[in-house]
Amino acid sequence: MSHQQRPYQHPTVDLRSDTVTQPTPPMRAAIAEAEVGDDVLGDDPTVATLEREVAEILGKEAALFFPSGIMANQTAVLLLTRPGTEALIDRDGHILRWEELAPAHLAGVQLEGLETPDGFLRPELIRAALRPRDRLSIETSLILLENTHNSAGGKVIPLDLLREVRALSLEEGIPIHLDGARLWNASAATGIPEAVYAAEADTVMVTISKGLGAPIGSLLAGSEELIERAWRIRRRLGGGMRQAGILAAAGLYALEHHRSRLTDDHRRARRLAALLRPIAGLRVEEPQTNIVMIDITRPELDATTLRLALEGEGVLLSEFGPRRLRAVTHLDIDDEGIETAAEAIYSVLAQV
């Protein structure tokens, strides 16, 4: 069945991703009342306000609004690399696993996926992957990091480790791009400001359409010089938007009203994990943020079978491997939804 064809109409509990949220009534009001202009011509005041606020939050000189995180990530790759070079990344990093090999297609950059124990590149792994600096070897032009790490279950990069990688990058003259789609969650989980994490990277991408609940959008932040160049790349990729203040208004509302509630999502993720952990046939790690990875240990059961059975009960999860499901908490899931999801999983496993 294709992803456009769904066997349900009104799911009870949708835990597939924190991208499935609906704009709240106040957010819709902010969208309706947004002051707009033509952003390609530089006169949309709401977009400009969003870009300034995100740059300030991240401690960067400037930021640029994009329609998607992938476009923002790939703009960073185009900014910081050269064709015929290589970027280092965890083998399950989002830019490698979920972005259609765009660096190779768009930038002529090869991705070298490194095996890591937890999704995080370490200085010793990076050093071992660096090729000899001679005319016959591939040049490493970029280090790609992700915080929080999606495929690792929403884990947060330890700040000390991030700083160690940054020290290596400066020593070797290799820039860092931080895929911070859920950097808001990392900050909420640790109490460390987003700017502290962002300071250890040349560019950082943040998404407003995931944990923050806006309908569309991501931003890329960095120096004024890099973001000025990024503007041209975004336009070349077809990302120039006209009255984009309608979208930016949702992001501004989300920054003001939805960042502080991310800890609720984290608490609910821990509650879901606690409810599922005693169920025979499942293995569930304690989540750090809003992502719960559910590993199936019953040999006769696979992720597709369990996912489809749960859809019949109105609970939606996403597949993350042959024997792994992912649940993501978000602002449209309340405490009752967590209890409902856990009860459905318990009931289905008892019947399958």
Q: Summarize pLDDT for 238-266 with one digit per residue, the tens.
A: 999 999 999 999 999 999 999 999 999 99
pLDDT band at 352 (very low <50, low <70, confident <90, very high): confident
Assigned token pair, 195: 């700017």
Tell me what percent of the residues of the chain surpass a pLDDT of 90.
96
- Vertex 322: Cα angle to 321 and 325 (nearest 5): 55
- Do 297 and 172 fall into the same domain? no
- Do 55 and 153 fall into the same domain? yes
Assigned token pair, 118: 């937890």
Give domain status of residue 99, yes or no.
yes
Query: Residue 11's pLDDT is what?
Result: 63
Which residues constitute the domain of residue 296?
261-351
pTM score over 0.85: yes
Give domain status of residue 247, yes or no.
yes
Q: What is the pLDDT of residues 280-313, one digit of tens each?
A: 999 999 999 999 999 999 999 999 999 999 999 9
Give domain status of residue 4, yes or no.
no
- Do 304 and 252 fall into the same domain? no
Q: What is the pLDDT of residues 175-200, one digit of tens each?
A: 999 999 999 999 999 999 999 999 99
- CATH classification at residue 279: 3.90.1150.10
- Do 195 and 219 fall into the same domain? yes
- Strands 203-207 and 218-222 come out as antiparallel
Question: What residue has token string 């931003």?
Answer: 219
Give domain status of residue 11, yes or no.
no
- Do 225 and 279 fall into the same domain? no
Number of domains the chain contains: 2
Query: Residue 12's pLDDT is what?
Result: 87
CA 55 to chain centre: 18
